[in-house]
Amino acid sequence: MSIAGGVQMSIQRGCSIGCSAMQMFVKNNMQWFARPLTRQEIGAFLKHSQRRELLSIFAHANYLINLAATNPQFHANSLRALAEELIRADQLKLPFLVLHPGAHLGAGEEAGLEKIVESIDCVFSGIPKIKTRIALETTAGQGSCLGSTFEQLAYIISRVREPERLCVCLDTAHIFAAGHDIGSESAIRKTFREFDRVIGRDRLVAIHVNDSKTARGSRVDRHEHIGKGKIGLEAFRFIMRDRRFREIPKVLETPKGKDLAEDVQNLKTLRILAAEQ
């Protein structure tokens, strides 16, 4: 949800269309850095009269951050920006910040994963008191992006010094584009069994509920409205109805205009699936 006009504005927007969970940026998502949040801004968010209407609010990191960046300046910016965003998220009492693990840019999978592990250690060691965790997001594997297999995320978690500060956000469009079969109930169950086995069920803290414009295994990340893409409604029906996901916040990241009409429609589609007998 947009934070145009101030971080607290996202709450109003989310509540205006009946959201019960919300993902937000903690600053302009196309800029490296921003001035710190003021006391007033933090207060306006935390004391917002509608904040309790949202059962879960969490953050998404900006898209410039690449913990596996090969350019030293770009890498240094990434570490600083991530630390600053974790601090902002913590000030807003958000439990986790969703982050794309990084892209190795030709350095290779192994070198990229090592760099991500080192980077996370470095960021966390600089902000020992920050409670907001990093939720590593499953990715489509576009280009040299890491995080398209459950094994890669598990590797990062197993190698960092403070694994308790990491969790995972699953994106339906990304795992589909990365090649996972979620086309039928049995296939979905199998994919989640694999998630449980490789990463662990307890790590899952959020789901990005997106349909995919691109085919399974395409490794191309293009979100589509629920039911209008290539995934099919079965996966969304399962996620909306299975008991194991009941307490997991689910958010849309589908295309939308300022009036949020598309969000309203997608929420409606999902809630109909959830209520089906």
In whole angstroms, how close is the CB of 99 to Zn ion at the nearest point? 11
Nearer to Zn ion, 13 or 208 (CB): 208
Nearer to Zn ion, 8 or 138 (CB): 138
In whole angstroms, how close is the CB of 212 to Zn ion at the nearest point? 11
Burial degree of 170 (CB within 10 A; 0-12, 13-18, 19+)? buried
Nearer to Zn ion, 115 or 208 (CB): 208
The residue ranges that bind Zn ion (CB under 5 A) are 171, 208, 253
In whole angstroms, how close is the CB of 60 to Zn ion at the nearest point? 8
Nearer to Zn ion, 121 or 253 (CB): 253
Q: Nearest residue by C-beta to Zn ion?
A: 208
In whole angstroms, how close is the CB of 171 to Zn ion at the nearest point? 4
The DSSP bridge pattern shows strands 166-171 and 133-137 to be: parallel
| Contacts for 141-145: CB closer than 8 Å, 24+ residues apart | 141/177, 141/178, 141/179, 141/219, 142/177, 142/219, 142/220, 142/221, 143/103, 144/103, 144/104, 144/105, 144/106, 144/112, 145/100, 145/101, 145/102, 145/103
In whole angstroms, how close is the CB of 137 to Zn ion at the nearest point? 6
In whole angstroms, how close is the CB of 125 to Zn ion at the nearest point? 27
H helix runs in the chain, sequence order: 9-16, 39-46, 72-91, 109-126, 150-159, 172-177, 185-198, 233-241, 261-275
Nearer to Zn ion, 48 or 195 (CB): 195
Nearer to Zn ion, 37 or 206 (CB): 206
Beta-carbon contacts of residue 231 (< 8 Å; ≥ 6 apart): 172, 173, 176, 182, 183, 211, 212
